[in-house]
Structure 1
């Protein structure tokens, strides 16, 4: 079956297709997945020689199903166990979506009490285990990742009684959400709905007995209890144990008490939810050189004044990102012969790290053509000085830097056209590190790439390899698109020292160059070399671009940034985007707002 047909079937809710995709994703962990469906409830059994890792398996499945965008499934129950050992393991239930239905009382029926064991329902065909070294593109990249909230969010008051339509014959770590909530998720880095294990262990022993008394309560005048309906799901277990037929009956008072506890526990699981409507705001800027003291002193009289005018433009973001194109070291000698033509080495005193922190930066890329100006010692010093003030430096070869915001796990990866960093010229290796970030649970993957020709002659971007003074500076269009195909969500380009066009590729934003942001007495600011910006990008929890803004900045003759009331960079980027990518579904208005074109 072709990859396209496989994904199409999975989007339609086909259990076998979903199991095949899960097997591809979990094959490296030695996990075999089997699946079956009952109406809108998907059951997944995971088996391996060792107990499948709960955290990583749940993350792969929940992110994959969410990004697959299927509307055919509203509940997923996952069972992890050792191969052929049903007696021990873990179970999780993920509620993908519910609707605000008319209030009703849920009473278990004989039909609901049928048990389901996936291992007996579906054999494990050989094609569940990938034999190719190149598995199909991950679920995440399908065009139908959009998820819509199906009901207004409102404050929920705990009802006096709830009757969940499910029996729990054994402790289950994760329970269902209340039906009055629309499509909601807990942090993507953890679970959709997390409930304390010890409380569930206590209550799950009494729930079955409680529900067994419901029919009696209904005949005692409780038929009209109004409570938000829970998602409907048949009772199931992965073992034959758990019958409540001979359970000792509980009193009406105890029944109400237990149901109230169960209701509170269900509501507790909704604390700090993340809706698909959540937005994470990233602000990103280009090249930063706050002065150098090598080979001569070109430092400002007051370092605190460098970011003074643009600091407000960097505020109000969840993540602030920049490309630091100098070093933060006192290492005495340079790796470059700066007396030879257009050869420069930049060394900024380590104490200047404080002004970067004070300006609001969270992540700084050091993967560029100046990071090794003072050998590996200077590179290490730069990273150490950035990290010790609470910021994070990205740019070491084979390194992924993780940063969590609002429960969403971001991965940052720095690239250049040099082998000392992740090399953008090596597409295979570049794809591999992106896939590694996904495998390690990244929800949103951000790429910083320093490449491309330089100067005002390099304003336009084409799908071809760029050269500068005979040096291969890579094909940034091919690189960016290839990495998005591999799993990346946002690409931030640097290197040309001028702003370039924006592109929206498969719902992901590519900024091909953010230009210079600060170059105190080091970078030319003539013509478009002085055009700068703060790029503001709003992303959803799975990395789709939802809108943004170009905040125009201009550099003065000394390379100090100021807000630009003439909006020069807005007009430039809008023009370049229209000419370089006329089909891209982006609109940039005169005030710098970046909008998605309506279909």
Structure 2
């Protein structure tokens, strides 16, 4: 073969090798680019999630703003004088689709401070009842005493009253009730903020001052449920402020957060050697956008209960006692909606030991399902006063629970005056107890001391 031909073949082979090298190099570069792109995307999205979680924690407790409440009358809760004589009448809106119901991971929250010794200023209940003794179960060595109350808001006429009489006014008739128990839980049906932007498409828009929280904490309130149809009345910024202020005053919360994981997560507390898990959910949410999402602040909804059921199951593996608080039902209705009993039973099937409801603004009945108590509605507690007389009947629902999840239930009847619950005795108390008994399952009876039992 001529030398020129040999050289041509060598040159051709060299070109082919170079082409292969270039091709392999190009492929490697593409792969590296894809790997770096995926890493970058991960850190960007994860960073965004961390930022959204940290925004509330890093905000100053004294956040202020100048946004006004559209459609309200300057009292930041109702649109005009006529609304003072009736409770809210927002229609329950069923979301078209439940956002992000992937199973949330439980997040342990540091328990709040232990109950202080001593009592608040005790002027005594108006009707002369003793709220400090005769608990649901007087055996304390192997049990915990838990008090549950209904809706609380410090807005509008309530706020005006408290500014005049002092922010400790709501608790002056309660004596040491919430300081002598092991845990007190209520439904905080208002954002707590000096800023925020009022919701434009709601009839009743609440906004409570942070000034109300120190006395709420001092009265013994340990945990509040935020899963309700008012907690986003001042938008996401109002929710963020609420979380900051609650943490500042040592009040634990559940049912809402900066994303799905936080909203559905239980809060854990330890009392008398027991681990207690508390979770909050709502079946009353004004708009789909209020639902917490993977990267969206909001409420733990239960139109689809899958995420809630999963969260309860996880909590039951870590806690001795699992308590679920739920916002549900129809306003000013003593008759249950179908979804109330369906959800309550699903929660207990998943591992809940006690289910406590709110939202109707009136009392509803009790039920025992598989040995577990359900209180369908605790009524109002610290709220505006309505001409609808049934909204003035309320009670403290007191449970005494043991480490194996068995609970006894007792009611302490009260009257919900404007901004102040007043414990009752005598005929007035008996009337409320009989009313709740009549609304309860047929096998439930309530004695003259408020102790409920299943026959």
Q: Using structure 1 for the length normalisation, give the TM-score.
A: 0.47
Quote how far apart the aligned CAs of 1:435 are. Answer: 1.0
Decide whether the 8 Å contact of 2:434 with 2:446 is kept in 1.
yes
Deviations, residues 43-88 of structure 1 (Å, cap 9, x unaligned): xxxxxxxxxxxxxxxxxxxxxxxxxxxxxxxxxxxxxxxxxxxxxx
Distance 1:381 1:451 in 2: 25
Pick from 512, 534, 543 the counterpart of residue 396 of structure 2: 534
State yes or no: 1:509 paired with 2:384.
Answer: no
State yes or no: 1:408 paired with 2:266.
Answer: no
3-state SS of the aligned residue for 2:187? strand
Decide whether the 8 Å contact of 2:364 with 2:440 is kept in 1.
no
Paired residues for 1:419-458 under 5 Å: 419=291, 420-439=298-317, 441-455=318-332, 458=333
Pick from 388, 407, 410 the counterpart of residue 549 of structure 1: 410
Distance 1:367 1:587 in 2: 30
| Greater displacement, 387-396 / 586-595 | 586-595
3-state SS of the aligned residue for 1:306? helix
Residue 589 of structure 1: aligned partner = 447
Considering fraction of residues, name the structure with more helix.
2
Residue 423 of structure 2: aligned partner = 563
Residue 170 of structure 2: aligned partner = 306
Paired residues for 1:572-583 under 5 Å: 572-583=432-443
Distance 2:430 2:230 in 1: 28
Quote how far apart the aligned CAs of 1:576 are. Answer: 4.1
3-state SS of the aligned residue for 2:414? strand
State yes or no: 1:490 paired with 2:354.
Answer: yes
Distance 2:437 2:342 in 1: 17
Deviations, residues 385-442 of structure 1 (Å, cap 9, x unaligned): 1122222011122221111111211111110023332222212222111112124x11
Residue 460 of structure 1: aligned partner = 335
Deviations, residues 185-242 of structure 1 (Å, cap 9, x unaligned): xxxxxxxxxxxxxxxxxxxxxxxxxxxxxxxxxxxxxxxxxxxxxxxxxxxxxxxxxx
Decide whether the 8 Å contact of 1:415 with 1:422 is kept in 2.
yes
Pick from 327, 351, 361 the counterpart of residue 221 of structure 2: 361
3-state SS of the aligned residue for 1:404? strand
Deviations, residues 133-185 of structure 1 (Å, cap 9, x unaligned): xxxxxxxxxxxxxxxxxxxxxxxxxxxxxxxxxxxxxxxxxxxxxxxxxxxxx
Distance 1:299 1:579 in 2: 34
What's the C-alpha RMSD, in Å, of the aligned pairs?
2.4
Q: Using structure 2 for the length normalisation, give the TM-score.
A: 0.61
Distance 1:589 1:525 in 2: 29
Q: Tell me how many residue pairs correspond in the alignment.
A: 298
Deviations, residues 358-396 of structure 1 (Å, cap 9, x unaligned): 111111111111100001111121122112222201112
Quote how far apart the aligned CAs of 1:311 are. Answer: 3.8
Distance 1:568 1:514 in 2: 17
Distance 1:497 1:460 in 2: 13
3-state SS of the aligned residue for 2:280? strand
Paired residues for 1:104-253 under 5 Å: none
Deviations, residues 457-496 of structure 1 (Å, cap 9, x unaligned): x11225x2xxxxxxxxxx1111011110110111110000
Q: Please, which runs of 5 or more residues in structure 2 have no aligned partner?
A: 1-138, 257-262, 286-290, 292-297
Q: Please, which runs of 5 or more residues in structure 1 have no aligned partner?
A: 1-274, 465-474
Q: 1:582 to 1:596 in 2, by over 3 A?
A: closer
3-state SS of the aligned residue for 2:168? helix
